[in-house]
Amino acid sequence: MSADPTDLHDDSPEEAAFRAEARAWLEANAPKKGGPDDFANTAMDTLDYVARAKEWQGKLAAAGWACITWPTEYGGRGGTPSQSAIFAEEQARTGASTGTFTVGIGMAGPTIIAHGTDEQKQRWLPPLLRGEEVYCQLFSEPGAGSDLAGLSCRAVRDGDEWIVNGQKVWTSGAVHSDLGILVARTDVEQPKHRGITYFIVDMHQPGMDIRPLRQMTGGAHFNEVFLTDVRIPHENVLGEVNGGWMVAMTTLSNERSAIGGGGTAMGFDRLLDLARQRGVTTDAVMRQGLAEAFTRFEILKFIGMRVRSAARAGKTPGGEANTMKLAYAQHLKKLGDLAMAIEGAGGMLMRDDAPDGGAWQQQFLSAPSIRIAGGSDEVQRNIIGERVLGLPPEPRPDKGVPFRDLLSNNV
């Protein structure tokens, strides 16, 4: 993880100094990539991984490197989005990971900062920053597909509490989460984008039935969650009652930026090493595939620079987040396809029997999930077309219709 003179960054002098400081601290404190303590060690079970992630997050918090953009009163550094991106880039060089806190720190935290009361911020932000509480996202539903506004999970007011009934699906990490960010329908008389409320819910309470979903990777990262008479205190409503759609949009915007800008441990250097090990670097078709992969890695890097430049200028990135998320999802699919072609017959093997310990097989099999998470590819294209390029919107016959009258939903 030593300094590489070929590194390409558009850092200002201040950012270059921050990068040097971050790199030096990480070199002294983070596990080495590829070493015995690398978080990517496939022999580590989920509970061990979560425990180590909590320990690492606490270490970051104690040293002032956690949640760099958060205000100092909540334990953050009060830094810039550019500094946060720089630290993420440098941490990606190490064997450490904060993936367990992607939902909490990357999505719930910014949403609480933007929409929470002072009391809510004091309650939820410091424990999250210190790695004491893990969050999951209770958004997707079996009947809503990519149309989040079509959700039918119901929350009914009962004095100072809300009673929630419904089902969520594709909930990452629900089995080891302490809290969940939940959107539920609270008024069926309003059109579907209204009448939705955003809650913070305790995942350990009665009525929470979490069922892991076995994926084709062999893991069970996703879960379906059944909520039966789950009670949520009214003080856990984030934002306004029936105003949860705008709160959820804050979460989704941060989710897309996190997915698109998260990068992958399977970088181009590792792909090139695989091609050399398999002896295909002289094959014309494989060389073309490698050249295209390198180009995609560079394009993603430069889109990330655009996001950082906008943040440095105090601007909120526009369509860059959607473009990056879409490009990243497409890139991962092509990357997995190329890796399997390079491995040839070895691509049919798994784990220790496979080249590179089966890491590329995991990449290949998990790539489709990224094309759905955070809004499917089709949703991203619609947003880019309508909001960025100004193309005519798709017909919306359900616009302005009370949710109760939408026959496709059984409420």
Based on the residue annotation, tell me whether 235 is a catalytic residue of this protein.
Answer: no
Tokens representing residue 170 in the block: 């594709």
Nearest of 144, 201, 212, 143 to residue 174 by alpha carbon: 212
What is d(CA 289, CA 382) in angstroms, rounded to the nearest whole number?
29
Amino acid at residue number 290: L
> Is 83 exposed, middle or buried (CB count within 10 Å of its CB: 0-12, 13-18, 19+)?
buried
Q: How many CA atoms lie within 13 A of 277 on its CB side?
A: 14
Beta bridge partners of 408: none
Q: Measure the CA dihedral 24/18/4/58, to 10°.
A: 40
What is d(CA 372, CA 146) in angstroms, rounded to the nearest whole number?
8
372-375: long-range contacts, CB 8 A cutoff, minimum separation 24: 372/146, 372/170, 373/170, 373/172, 373/255, 373/259, 374/252, 374/255, 374/256, 374/258, 374/259, 374/325, 375/146, 375/252, 375/255, 375/256, 375/325
Catalytic residue among 15, 89, 255, 343: 255
Kindly write down the DSSP assignment for every residue of 282-337, as one continuous string.
T-HHHHHHHHHHHHHHHHHHHHHHHHHHHHHTTPPP-THHHHHHHHHHHHHHHHHH
> Is 314 exposed, middle or buried (CB count within 10 Å of its CB: 0-12, 13-18, 19+)?
exposed
Residues 56 and 94: beta-carbon distance below 8 Å:
no
Tokens representing residue 183 in the block: 């959107």
Handedness of CA 82, 84, 87, 91 (dihedral sign): negative
Nearest of 219, 140, 225, 141 to residue 177 by alpha carbon: 225
Which residues are identified as catalytic?
A: 255
